[in-house]
Amino acid sequence: MNDYREGLLSINLKSIADNYLDLADRLAVGARCGAVVKADAYGLGMVQVVPALYAQGCRDFFVATQSEGERLRSDFGDEVNIVILTGVRPGAELECARAGLIPTLFTIEQFRNWVKVCERTQLEAPCALKVDSGMTRLGLGPEEFELILKDRPLLEAANIRMLLSHLACADEPQHPQNQIQLSNFKAAGEKLRGLCPGILLSLANSSGIFLGEEYHFDIARPGSALYGVNPVFGVKNPMRPTVTLQLPIVQKRLVSQPQSVGYGATQEIPGGSWLAVARGGYADGIMRAQGGRGRGWAHGRPLPMVGRVSMDSTTFDISGLGKEERESLQSIEILNDDLTVDEVAGYAGTIGYEVLTSLGHRYHRRYVKG
């Protein structure tokens, strides 16, 4: 730990690979498992995560932006399908097609522009279409989708590889929205397949996989569950945790009199308390909203965070440790197998996704392979 004075973030690629196999195993026969690696694989490092998934047989990767796709293409060549979830930048269609990236198109205008590129060039230019099945975010609305279905010349000129939609409430299995979106998507899929046989259908994110086989279609698109976030709200997490974050302690002190701790003097501690100030604060993704509620972990036990989280440091009450434990203590874990991303997210009033994608860049990163 002494070598990692800015903190040590360990990312377990074996656990990510195991999570991939676990999810792939849950899929209906004939459905294949892709992987969402947007936002630098949810903050864990696309360059390291993609080969670990590739080694398990994953060939369908989903990214958010064209630049993420270009980077993935230049690192991993032509053997993988790369789908861009947020479309194509206007004017960048040719670049995107040349790189063999598959944009997810969700307006008629985007689709027409893309097809023009296909017609002008000899490029294969595969694309994906996205319908809004009820989430009301990105996607073709029902009227726009019907217009596309009616435009036979447009459909014939296009090379549509996949039809996607995204679930709004998949982490709540009982939510009626799931059934509604499922039937809307099924209907859209059948219509498009009637005109363009062979296109692949994709609906399920991580949580969608747990809704049952009807939701799996041809390709699943899990992201968060690969990285250890619990896919089903309120149920024991079936996924393996993938990250451990250790912060070095930069000061330990005995506070002899009752004192308030940190900015705003928001929290009082009694005289005789032992405090440890650890290197790592909200600039490193330790969310300020955890202040006064969050936990650290050492010697197999939780330790309360005290006062507000600062930009570069966080203070813990280590009075609960024995003298020897306290004296030998050099670091505090703030994410590990016991203190999970979901628990930390709870203290910060957010979701595990945001905890992962906020992890800072000052930590030393270690990738564990076995």
Annotated binding site for substrate: 137, 311
Site string for ligand PLP, 38-67 (x = CB under 6 A): x-----------------------------
> Which residue's Cβ has the minimum distance to ligand PLP?
223
Residue type at 94?
Answer: L
According to the binding rule CB under 6 A, does residue 205 interact with ligand PLP? yes
Helices (H), the chain: 13-26, 38-42, 46-54, 66-76, 93-98, 108-120, 142-150, 152-157, 176-195, 206-209, 323-328, 341-348, 352-358
Region of 177-185, 203-211, 319-327, 343-351 interacting with ligand PLP (CB under 6 A) = 203-211
Please, are residues 224 and 204 in contact by the beta-carbon 8 Å criterion?
A: no
Whichever of 205 and 313 has its CB closer to ligand PLP, that residue is: 205
17, burial (CB in 10 Å: exposed 0-12, middle 13-18, buried 19+): buried
Token pair recorded at residue 215: 């939701």
d(CA 127, CA 109): 14
Q: How many CB atoms lie within 10 A of CB 107?
A: 15
Torsion-angle region of 347 (φ positive above 0: left; ψ -120 to 50: alpha; else: beta): alpha
Closer residue to ligand PLP (CB): 38 or 295: 38
Q: Does 26 bind ligand PLP (CB under 6 A)?
A: no
Asked if 43 and 357 touch (Cβ cutoff 8 Å), the reply is: yes
Q: How far is the CB of 244 from ligand PLP (least distance, A)?
A: 21
Would you report the helix, strand and coil content of the chain in percent, each value rounded to 5? 35, 25, 40
- Among the listed ranges 152-160, 187-195, 216-224, 299-307, the one in contact with ligand PLP (CB under 6 A) is 216-224
Judged by CB under 6 A, the residue of 17, 23, 36, 140 near ligand PLP is 36
> Which region among 191-199, 223-231, 293-301, 332-340 touches ligand PLP (by CB under 6 A)?
223-231
Annotated binding site: 137, 311
Question: CA 180, CA 236: separation in Å to the nearest integer?
Answer: 26
Q: Which of 15, 133, 224, 267 binds ligand PLP (CB under 6 A)?
A: 224
* CA pair distance 32, 25, nearest whole angstrom: 10
Identified catalytic residue from 38, 42, 282, 353: 38
Distance CA 142, CA 188 (A): 9
Q: Cα–Cα distance between 305 and 328 in angstroms, integer?
A: 19
**Residue 206 lies near ligand PLP (rule: CB under 6 A):** yes
Annotation says 130 is catalytic: no
What is the closest distance, in whole angstroms, from the C-beta atom of residue 140 to ligand PLP in the complex? 14
Q: How close are the terminal C-alpha atoms of the chain, in Å? A: 20
Interaction of residue 303 with ligand PLP, rule CB under 6 A = no
Instruction: Name the DSSP class of 265.
Output: G
Q: Please report how close the Cβ of residue 40 comes to ligand PLP at its closest, in angstroms.
A: 13
Of 262, 238, 247, nearest to 333 (Cα)? Answer: 247
38 is catalytic: yes
Token pair of 3 as six digits: 């070598």
Site string for ligand PLP, 69-88 (x = CB under 6 A): ----------------x---
Query: Six-digit token pair at 299?
Result: 């010697």
19 belongs to the binding site for ligand PLP (CB under 6 A): no
| Cβ at position 296, least distance to ligand PLP in Å | 27
- Shortest reach from residue 22's CB to ligand PLP, in Å: 13
Pick out residues in 159-188 that bind ligand PLP (CB under 6 A). 166
Contact 93, 119 (CB under 8 A): no
Supply the minimum distance, in Å, between the C-beta of residue 317 and ligand PLP: 34
Indicate which single residue of 43, 87, 189, 222 sits in contact with ligand PLP (rule: CB under 6 A). Answer: 222
From the list 12-20, 22-30, 201-209, 315-323, the region that binds ligand PLP by CB under 6 A is 201-209
Residue 189 interacting with ligand PLP (CB under 6 A):
no
Contacts with ligand PLP, residue ranges (CB under 6 A): 36, 38, 85, 166, 205-207, 221-225
Which residues are catalytic, by number? 38, 263
